[in-house]
Amino acid sequence: MERIVIAGFGGQGVLSLGQLLVYAAMYENQYATWLPSYGPEMRGGTANCSVVIDAEKPVASPIIATSDTLIAMNKPSLDKFQMSVKSGGLIVINSSLITDKCANTAAKAVYVDANRIAHENGNNKASNLVILGAYIRHSGLFPKEVILSTIEKVYASKPQFIPSNKACFEAGFALD
């Protein structure tokens, strides 16, 4: 079971990043839940979602107290959620917007200059896919090909975004 908290500003693709993971799980016949924060705090403020993926059995609690992974797209999100990551867990940090170092030393921190990489790969809005690439590489949650085909299926109605989205994902995946 993998419990992931994804958090950032509204507009950073936080919710859609979580949905991509749940789509991938569905296509792989795994079980998954996606639970967003909702309400006024979404308007120009922080957005976050909780994703739980289980390869074997239906997900019980969609609520995450202790996470296996945190994806922090901005500083308030890192501050708020990093201490809830379990010992030995993973914290993926968007270093384009977060200059702090991770304070949870029991977890593994991965720093990704996501905004710059997204820009270089032709899609300023796809920093979330760069982060996704880095996360998939470090977690091994799904094979790379599963995410690539998920991007194709999910963006089938907006085919113009598929090449740059895939490029951003690949660029994040290629980082050490």
Mark residues 39-78: x for contact with another protein by CB under 8 A, - for none. xx-----------------xxxxxxxxx------------
Distance CA(16)–CA(54), nearest Å, equals: 19
Instruction: Return the number of the residue (59 or 162) whose C-beta is nearest another protein.
Output: 59
| Residue closest to 169 by CA, chosen among 140, 126, 138 | 126
Identify whether the C-beta of residue 48 lies closer than 8 Å to the C-beta of residue 74: no
CB 129 within 8 A of CB 71: no
Q: For residues 121 and 144, what is the distance between their CA atoms, to the nearest angstrom?
A: 18
- Does the footprint of another protein cover residue 32 (CB under 8 A)? yes
The span from the CA of 71 to the CA of 143, in Å, is: 19
Q: Does 36 bind another protein (CB under 8 A)?
A: yes
Work out the number of other CB atoms within 10 angstroms of the CB of residue 103: 12
Among 22, 93, 112, 147, binds another protein (CB under 8 A): 22
State in angstroms the smallest separation of the CB of 22 from another protein: 6
135 binds another protein (CB under 8 A): no
Which one, 25 or 167, has the nearer CB to another protein? 25
Considering CB under 8 A, how many residues would be counted as binding another protein? 23
* Residue 123 touches another protein, criterion: CB under 8 A: no
At residue 93, φ and ψ (nearest 5 deg) are: -115, 130
Q: Which residues of this protein are in contact with another protein, per CB under 8 A?
A: 19, 22-23, 25-26, 31-36, 38-40, 58-66
